Amino acid sequence: MEALYEQIRDRIVGGGRITEAEALTLFEAKDLLEIGELAALANEQKNGKRVYFNVNRHINYSNVCVNQCTFCAFCKTAEEKGGYTLALEEILDKAKEASNAGATEIHVVGGLHPELPYGFYLEMLASIKKACPQVHLKAFTAVEIDYFSKLSGRSVEQVIEDLKGAGLGSMPGGGAEIFAPAVREKICPEKITGARWLEVVEKVHRAGLKTNATMLFGHLESYADRVDHLAKLRALQDRTGGFQAFIPLAFQPDNTRVPGAKGVGGVDALKTLAISRIFLDNFQHIKAYWVMLGLKIAQVALAFGVNDLDGTVVEEKIGHDAGAESPQILAKEHLVDMIRKAGKIPVERDTLYRELGEAT
């Protein structure tokens, strides 16, 4: 293994990339600290000691969804107790409250609602943009774009243009889950395939919008499935350059229907973040989503190749419905303190990674 670590170190310093086989060997290795050191080196070369965070707010307009993914504790059928759909006024109140509190981004996602018309989504974006013109709208995923296309009879390209016209600024990275078809069949059989997710995201990039990418890990997938997922993202990024950040999402098992899944330990979480940093040489940012990782692992991740902490969030439902023990909101000061105590420089950013200033 020592020889492999040396080779990977040389590759990182020389600007080369590691192979899928090498990434798999790293997943199977037990040397967490060696892997972490390599990831820290890769990150330091790209981002120095700067760690980004943003002031944002999540708005989940509805949890009613025609897909019933077994990993998801958030989704409800139309008939089920606990289903909700926010009125436009409620959505706008949340957006205005966030904007007044200094949010630069509103992150809007929801279930695939069986009844809301296509016009609702355009009106929602346009109304938020009108009420909060300075705020960046990061909304929907490839899964919703595909659904809107079917709902409206318009092409994916037309839907993207409609959403851009209504104020869409970029897209989050959700819905990717794990691309491997055999696992996808078990955890989200009704969802679009991994290939379709990649195809839609490519169209979004070609239309000039940036997106993120995620990977849901710690359920039924193998290490080889994780490497396959990373390799497909790296290949798409080579073609478009449209991804900003990669966000591994640690699976939360409570209230879900994934048989035998136990959730993710600290070692696996850190190793996955670190290998992602090493493998995805064409991604500038690796983001720790503290909601799913917990605050302590998210902070330690800053020594394992991570250079971005999301965010103030404010009202998180998807992870918390599945048993996440993290808080639902973090004050900006708390994020700054976490970053500083990890020996890094906290830098507030906007959604497109323009620096808004080093935190004081």
CB 322 within 8 A of CB 77: no
Told to check if 288 binds ligand V47 by CB under 6 A, we report no
Return the range that interacts with ligand V47 (CB under 6 A); candidates 82-90, 154-162, 244-252, 341-349: 244-252
Q: How far is CA 74 from the centre of its chain?
A: 16
- Name which of 108, 129, 107, 105 is nearest 55 in CA terms: 105
The backbone torsions φ and ψ at residue 343, rounded to the nearest 5 degrees and listed phi first, read: 80, 20
The least distance separating ligand V47 from the CB of residue 71, rounded to whole angstroms, comes to 5
Identity of the residue numbered 57: R
Q: CA-to-CA distance for 244 and 54, rounded, in angstroms?
A: 14
The least distance separating ligand V47 from the CB of residue 116, rounded to whole angstroms, comes to 19
State which of residues 52, 71, 179, 246 lies at the interface with ligand V47 (CB under 6 A).
71
Instruction: Give the tokens for residue 28.
Output: 């199977």
Q: Is the dihedral of CA 19, 25, 30, 31 positive or negative?
A: negative
State which of residues 51, 159, 227, 292 lies at the interface with ligand V47 (CB under 6 A).
292
Told to check if 256 binds ligand V47 by CB under 6 A, we report yes
Quick one: 34 or 251, whose CB is closer to ligand V47? 251
Quick one: 279 or 289, whose CB is closer to ligand V47? 289
Told to check if 272 binds ligand V47 by CB under 6 A, we report no
Told to check if 194 binds ligand V47 by CB under 6 A, we report no
The least distance separating ligand V47 from the CB of residue 304, rounded to whole angstroms, comes to 18
Provide CB contacts within 8 A for 116, sequence distance 6+.
Answer: 62, 85
Which residues, listed in sequence order, are joined to residue 139 by a DSSP beta bridge? 108
The least distance separating ligand V47 from the CB of residue 339, rounded to whole angstroms, comes to 17
Quick one: 142 or 274, whose CB is closer to ligand V47? 142
Told to check if 322 binds ligand V47 by CB under 6 A, we report yes
DSSP string, 275-324: HHHHH-TT-SEEEEEHHHH-HHHHHHGGGTT--EEE----S--TTGGGT-
Told to check if 252 binds ligand V47 by CB under 6 A, we report yes
Burial code (b: 16+ CB inside 10 Å, e: under 16) for 68-86 equals bbbbbbbbbeeeeeebebb
State which of residues 173, 248, 294, 305 lies at the interface with ligand V47 (CB under 6 A).
173
State which of residues 230, 247, 275, 298 lies at the interface with ligand V47 (CB under 6 A).
247
Told to check if 73 binds ligand V47 by CB under 6 A, we report yes
Residues near ligand V47 (CB under 6 A): 71-73, 172-175, 177, 212, 214, 216, 247, 249, 251-252, 256, 289, 292, 310, 318-319, 322
